[in-house]
Chains A and B, each alone.
Chain A
Amino acid sequence: MSRYTSLTDEDLREMLAAIGVSSIDELFDAIPAALRLGRRLDLPEGLSEQEVYARLRAMAERNVSAEDELTFLGAGMYDHYVPALIDSILQRSEFLTPYTPYQPEISQGGLQVMFEYQTAISELTGLPISNASLYEGPSAVGAAAYLAKLANGRRDVVVSRGVHPHSRATLETLAPGYGQAVAEIPLIDGVTDLAALEARIGPDTTAVIVQQPNFLGAVEDLEPIVAAAKAVGALVVCACDPLPMALLRTPGELGIDVAVGEGQSLGNRLDYGGPSFGFFAASQEHIRRMPGRIAGETRDVDGRRGFVLTLQTREQHIRREKATSNICTAQVLNALAGVIYLSWIGKRGAVELAELMLRRADYARRALTALPGVRALHDQPVAREFALALDAPVAAVLERCAAEGVNAGYALGREYPEFADGLLVAITEQRSRADIDRLADVLGRAVAAERSTAMAGALS
């Protein structure tokens, strides 16, 4: 008997008799003999539960997680604290194991969660409508480009080089299918080059896509970018980091059409990159162009308050080839973690948390740029993450830090050849002043060691 099944020999006999066949094999008669595998799958034998646990635990132990080192790695996902109540609520089977709420009468819990989530995202972004939700950050950026296609049908997607490299790569992948072309605007002093942007956009621009804060951690002044985009009739899409949004001017205040982003930092684990969720909020005029699931409030036949999936005529199961998106799976469980997290930090806590990160990031930036051979890659305001330039090979410095149990950050040269000396450092609320001081000590010694190695090499 296969694991997790209940079939006894007696069941089998009686069930086959009821069906009117003599063997299970006969049920597969429709499959031509030539298409039968006719052998065992070339996979190992099944294991007992304890053996599977031991095996997966051994594999997990070969990973160096944020539990095992002092990490300053960010670049799109962040080691924030996930409060225990999220684990507890997400493990409730009523949230963990249902399907999409196709039967609203028995799915009110999940539907109300979606409604509350939409409200929270709307508050963070200052935009009136939100869906619930998309897969994750970069694919949400891709979905925004598709909304732009539906809205104005123009060809050119103009994206700042400050947008996450994975988001830009996703736009490039989708462009042939969307019938779009992607143009990139360079950075100057760590932020989007406004003059280059103004020179590049025009009547063929479908959307201008920026990120706040951008990949180098810089808080962009979005107002002139929005004005320039609007002047040519293009949509403005902003990929936002949700926690700093508690302090930053909102997309709504700035007249941005679509705000998207990676939701991981809202109560979701790192999980080596997923699952998390991508949020998607927009101005009212785009409500019928939104991708994916949207919950709406209504009443039942007895007049009781309830929630349903609404505006479904946008969606693939009804509109088929004319749908606003093919998305079917939302990330409801991850979005639930997001709304619990936002309720847990609350109205005041969201601001306090963002301010704490702002202050610690400032402290760290000062401490690290005071080190010999380390300078700031840009001087723009930052919210949680900032970019440094090292006067030493970044990969070798990172190795030296790792040997001391410190993950000093992300080597920008992996994605930005022009910043081969760049290091991106993230300061979440889990990194205390003492942790930052330790980073300064370890990084300072690593840079010094690499510089003296280089010096010795030059002299010999």
Chain B
Amino acid sequence: MSPAAQTPNGVATQTPQQREEVVTIYERSRPGRRAFSPPALDVPERPLDELLPPSLRRAAPPELPEIAEPEIVRHYNGLSKRNFDLDSGFYPLGSCTMKHNPKLHERVAALPGNARLHPLQAPARAQGALELMWNLERALAEVSGLPHVSLQPSAGSHGELAGVLLTRAYHADRGDERTLVLTPDTAHGTNPATVTMAGYEVVKVGTSPDGGVDLEDLRRKADDRVACLMLTNPNTLGLFDPNIEEIARITHDAGATLYYDGANLNAVMGISRPGDMGFDIVHFNLHKSFTQPHGGGGPGAGPIAVSDRIEPYLMVPRIVRSEDGEGGVPRFDLEEESPKSIGRLRGFQGNYGVFVRSYAYICSLGAEGLREASEIAVLNANYLLALLRRPEIAPYLPLAYGERCMHEFVLSGAPMKRDLGIRTTDLAKRLLDHGYHPPTVYFPLLVEEALLVEPTETETRETLEEFAEAIGAILREAAEDPEIARNAPYSTPVRRLDEAAAARTPVVRQPARG
């Protein structure tokens, strides 16, 4: 690879001339090569037709790669080098809480007693796993201020679906037909999508000039057709809504439930609890606040906690604890029967491997540590915000709402676009050349050219300062020559990709051979 043309501080401004075209694992395949050697056939070899009639068999084997182990390893190691990741650099992706993923967690999740435990093992022989899940449930109940927990949902959006289906069951049980769910116009896209899947219609609630829920609009819309109000607090603008008690009152007076999207829980652990704010149902993103690695887009887990009135409808199986174990040791069991339960949302007991990691995290941090994590997350966000409010930056990237923030904040790139001629996406792409993952862009939707920045508590002060410097450098560069940012990135494995062409003529698999 030839060296790229660089700015004085070492940031590329041109594309390296020669880069290899990538090949897929299928293109590396050659007939006759293999990695797997099957165990010896140690039973009588009866004719296949006697075991499985030809009418039930496929015409030809699947065209899987033919390739030896060394080349598989090189292929995927090669691909890994075409990814940016949290262990390699700063990842201030707003609303995603890209905090450090402790290495201990991988070790404990891989213990054979966890990794090779079958989900249908008799509960008497899975006591360690059930105790871990019970303890995690209790810890999440304490953090949320809501007493009953189900770990079952597999992601935040899955937890949302659980929450809205629980709401549906709660109203149905009282003979109360409701048709609408309220979401603020700042809501994450999963909220309205979930509402539709749960059979409700979405009604948007406006945002007040100070960034909170527009109370007048809420009062107008909260009537006896409304099943639920879905909120995050702090909201997606990074602001704690100080009117939350009034919001809860209005919602409950209308007979609706109040749902807490836990995407932003990292701001308030041990400081303020959704249950105490009046929420009935909360989901947690264990892959955000509780350190499950994101895996390039999963796995995660989205447990929910609920109040007493929602509890009868919780998913099965429930974990139950009794004191009648041998030698006074508590005994844990799975309860499948629960007459009012909405049932199951997936197989087995949920993403246990994620629970192990999150439980290890809670054990490591303890009560004080969780609070301090939230405190430092908010401190780091405000410090980075202060750095970005310097006069050479703020006029181009003003804070969208308020004066301070919780664990994240939203800047508007509208003045930057107007005055420097580069858009938020250009700033984001130029940040790639500086070695950063950009913030979340163009979300929330109500802020023009939005940048949603969440540094998390695990970043050092120096990292935040260097990031602010990079933003300043990109703005200065754009003032001189906006084309540089408009055409960025330069140093990445590929440059801007033609997404329109990909959608117009979708190529979503390797063309079949032959």
Contacts and interface: CB of A to CB of B under 8 A. Distances in A.
A21 B329 CA distance: 50
Contacts of A4: 99-100, 102, 373, 457-458
A177 B83 contact: no
A104 interface: yes
A105 B431 CA distance: 12
A249 interface: yes
B297 interface: yes
Contacts of B184: none
A359 B367 contact: no
B24 A116 contact: yes
B296 A99 contact: yes
B448 interface: no
A20 B129 CA distance: 47
A278 B457 CA distance: 33
A253 B57 CA distance: 10
Contacts, number: 724
Interface stretch (A60-68, A193-201, A438-446, A448-456): A60-68
A106 interface: yes
B113 A325 contact: no
Interface in B449-464: 457-461
A310 B72 contact: no
A98 B86 contact: yes
B161 interface: yes
Given A253-B58, A310-B506, A325 B193 contact: yes
Nearest to A134: B154
A117 B347 CA distance: 22
B117 to A, nearest CB: 4
Interface stretch (A225-233, A295-303, A370-378): A295-303
Interface-central residue, A32, A311, A313, by most chain B CB under 10 Å: A32
Contact of B348 (A57, A77, A92): A77
B446 interface: no
A97 B72 contact: no
A210 B112 CA distance: 34
B157 A327 contact: yes
Interface-central residue, B111, B131, B169, by most chain A CB under 10 Å: B111
A358 interface: yes
Nearest to B162: A173
Given A65-B112, A344-B35, A116 B510 contact: yes
A253 B59 contact: yes
Counting chain A residues whose Cβ lies within 8 A of the other chain, the interface size class is 35 or more
B272 A108 contact: no
B157 A316 contact: yes
Contacts of A58: 128
A320 B193 contact: yes
Contact of A42 (B66, B109, B367, B506): B367
A135 B294 contact: no
B282 to A, nearest CB: 14
Contact of B503 (A173, A296, A317): A296
Nearest to A118: B509
Contact of B51 (A59, A381, A429): A381
A381 B366 contact: no
A31 B121 contact: no
A166 B347 contact: yes
Nearest to A92: B80
Interface string B68-89: 0100110111011111111110
Interface-central residue, B100, B154, B356, by most chain A CB under 10 Å: B154
B343 A43 contact: no
B24 A330 contact: no
Interface string A134-145: 011111001000
12 contacts: A5-B373, A46-B365, A63-B114, A95-B85, A96-B85, A123-B63, A172-B343, A271-B351, A306-B22, A320-B189, A321-B192, A329-B297
Q: Which 6 A-B pairs have the closest CB atoms?
A: A273-B348, A60-B113, A333-B295, A273-B119, A46-B366, A275-B299
